[in-house]
C-alpha cells in the first residue's frame, strides 16, 4: 500500500511511464496522472490506451500529494519552478528520478524548501537503453534498488512515506547522503556506461565487423545504445565524481597493455582473476 492517494508523474519517458504503469498495476485505488509537454506525444500515449495523460501542467499537479519529476537532470530545476508556479496542494511531496543528486538538492531542493515544499531525492536504479513511453514497463522496479537522498532535511516520516511508495512498486529502498550517492553511482552506473561506449568505439572501429560479433560484444556494449544527450547531461553534472574512477580504469587498461607487451602471464592472470572475483560478488546480492 502507499500513503499517497493522488500522484502526478511529470515526464512520459521510460522511467516516468513505468512509474505511472506500476502505480496503476500495484495501487489501482490511487489516482495517477502522467504529464508531457508535447501535445502530439501526449495524444500518441493516449492512443495506446493509457488515458490518464495530459499536457496541462496545472491540471497534472492540482491536488497531487506526490509529484515525481521524471525528466533529464538538466531540466529538473526549470520544471520544478514551473510546478511551484502552477500551484501545489498543502503538504505535497516532490521527488525526482535523476541519477545525480548533489546539484538538484542545492538548486531545486533549496527553491522547494524556501517555499515550504518537501523535496526528497529518489534514484530508482532501473531503466533501459530504449527510450520513450513505448519502453515503459509496469514491473521495471521489481527487485531494483532505489536510493533516497534527504539533503534538505525533511522530516523522517516524509522520508519513510516516500520509501514506502517505492517499496510498494517492488523496489529495495535505502537512504544516503547526496554526495555519497553521486560517488557511488559514478562507479557502478556512470563508469560502466562510458566503458560500454568505449567498447563499441574500439570493437566496432570497422562497423562491418559487427556481423561476426557474438553475444559478448552485444552484452558489453548494450548500454552504449542509450540516449547520448541524456548521458552527456549526467556525466557533466557528476564530472567531479566520475573523473577519478575513469582514470583508474584507464590506468588498469594501460597496465594490462604493458603486461601483454612483455608477456607477463602471471600479472595478466591476476587482473583477470580479480575481475572475475569481484564480478562474482554480484551473484550473491539480492
pLDDT in tens, 18-64: 999 999 999 988 999 999 999 999 999 999 999 899 999 999 999 99
Q: Is 70 exceeded by the pLDDT of residue 96?
A: yes
What is the reported pTM?
Answer: 0.91
Q: Where exactly are the structural domains of the chain?
A: 6-176, 181-284
Tell me what pLDDT residue 286 has: 63
Question: 515526464: which residue's cell?
Answer: 11
Tell me what pLDDT residue 1 has: 60
pLDDT digits (tens, 9 = 90+) for 174-218: 999 999 999 999 999 999 999 999 999 999 999 999 999 999 999
- CATH fold match for the domains 6-176 and 181-284: no
CATH of 181-284, one of 1.10.3660.10, 1.10.10.410, 3.40.50.300, 3.40.50.1970: 1.10.3660.10
Q: Is 70 exceeded by the pLDDT of residue 10?
A: yes
Tell me what pLDDT residue 3 has: 85
Which H helix or E strand runs over 156? helix 156-168
Tell me what pLDDT residue 222 has: 94
In the structure, what pLDDT confidence band is assigned to residue 2 with cuts at 50, 70 and 90?
Answer: confident
Neighbours of 160 (CB within 10 A): 15
In the structure, what pLDDT confidence band is assigned to residue 261 with cuts at 50, 70 and 90?
Answer: very high
Tell me what pLDDT residue 43 has: 95
Mean pLDDT for the stretch of residues 78-90: 86
Strands 6-10 and 66-69: parallel
Sheet of 6-10: strands edge to edge? 53-54, 31-35, 6-10, 66-69, 93-96, 118-119
CA distance from start to end of the chain: 22
Q: Is 80 exceeded by the pLDDT of residue 285?
A: no
Q: Which residues pair with 13 in a beta bridge?
A: none
Kindly indicate whether the domain formed by 6-176 is annotated with CATH number 3.40.50.720. yes
Q: Is 80 exceeded by the pLDDT of residue 89?
A: no
Residue 118: name the closest of 2, 4, 210 by CA.
4
Tell me what pLDDT residue 183 has: 98
At residue 12, φ and ψ (nearest 5 deg) are -95, 30
Q: For residues 193 and 221, what is the distance between their CA atoms, to the nearest angstrom?
A: 9
Residue 20 in grid coordinates: 505511472
Contacting residues for 18 by C-beta, under 8 A, at least 6 apart: 126, 136, 137, 138, 140, 141
pLDDT digits (tens, 9 = 90+) for 119-155: 999 999 987 777 889 899 999 999 999 999 999 899 9
Mean pLDDT of the chain: 93
Residue 199 in grid coordinates: 567498447
Q: For residues 7 and 162, what is the distance between their CA atoms, to the nearest angstrom?
A: 12
Tell me what pLDDT residue 260 has: 98
Neighbours of 204 (CB within 10 A): 15
pLDDT digits (tens, 9 = 90+) for 153-164: 999 999 999 999
Amino acid at each position: 500500500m502507499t500513503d499517497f492517494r493522488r500522484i502526478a508523474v511529470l515526464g512520459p519517458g521510460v522511467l516516468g511511464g513505468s512509474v505511472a504503469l506500476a502505480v496503476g498495476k500495484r495501487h489501482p485505488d490511487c489516482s495517477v496522472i502522467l504529464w508531457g509537454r508535447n501535445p502530439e506525444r501526449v495524444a500518441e500515449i493516449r492512443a495506446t490506451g493509457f488515458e490518464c495523460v495530459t499536457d496541462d501542467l496545472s491540471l497534472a499537479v492540482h491536488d497531487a500529494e506526490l509529484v515525481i519529476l521524471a525528466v533529464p537532470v538538466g531540466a529538473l530545476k526549470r520544471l520544478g519552478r514551473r510546478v511551484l508556479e502552477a500551484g501545489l496542494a498543502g503538504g505535497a511531496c516532490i521527488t525526482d528520478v535523476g541519477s545525480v543528486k548533489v546539484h538538484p538538492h542545492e538548486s531545486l531542493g533549496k527553491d522547494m524548501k524556501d517555499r515550504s515544499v518537501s523535496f526528497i531525492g529518489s534514484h530508482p536504479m532501473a531503466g533501459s537503453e530504449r527510450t520513450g513511453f513505448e519502453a515503459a514497463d509496469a514491473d521495471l522496479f521489481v527487485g531494483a534498488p532505489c536510493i533516497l537522498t534527504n539533503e534538505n532535511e525533511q522530516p523522517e516520516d516524509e522520508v519513510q512515506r516516500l520509501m514506502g511508495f517505492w517499496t510498494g512498486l517492488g523496489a529495495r529502498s535505502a537512504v544516503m547522503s547526496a554526495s555519497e550517492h553521486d560517488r557511488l553511482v559514478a562507479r557502478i552506473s556512470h563508469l560502466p556506461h562510458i566503458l560500454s561506449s568505449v567498447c563499441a568505439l574500439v570493437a566496432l572501429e570497422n562497423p562491418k565487423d559487427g556481423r561476426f560479433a557474438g553475444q559478448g560484444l552485444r552484452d558489453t556494449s548494450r548500454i552504449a545504445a542509450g540516449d547520448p544527450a541524456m548521458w552527456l547531461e549526467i556525466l557533466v553534472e557528476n564530472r567531479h565524481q566520475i573523473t577519478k574512477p575513469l582514470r583508474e580504469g584507464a590506468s588498469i587498461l594501460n597496465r594490462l597493455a604493458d603486461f601483454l607487451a612483455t608477456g607477463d602471464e602471471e600479472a595478466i592472470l591476476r587482473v583477470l582473476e580479480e575481475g572475475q572475483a569481484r564480478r562474482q560478488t554480484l551473484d550473491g546480492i539480492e
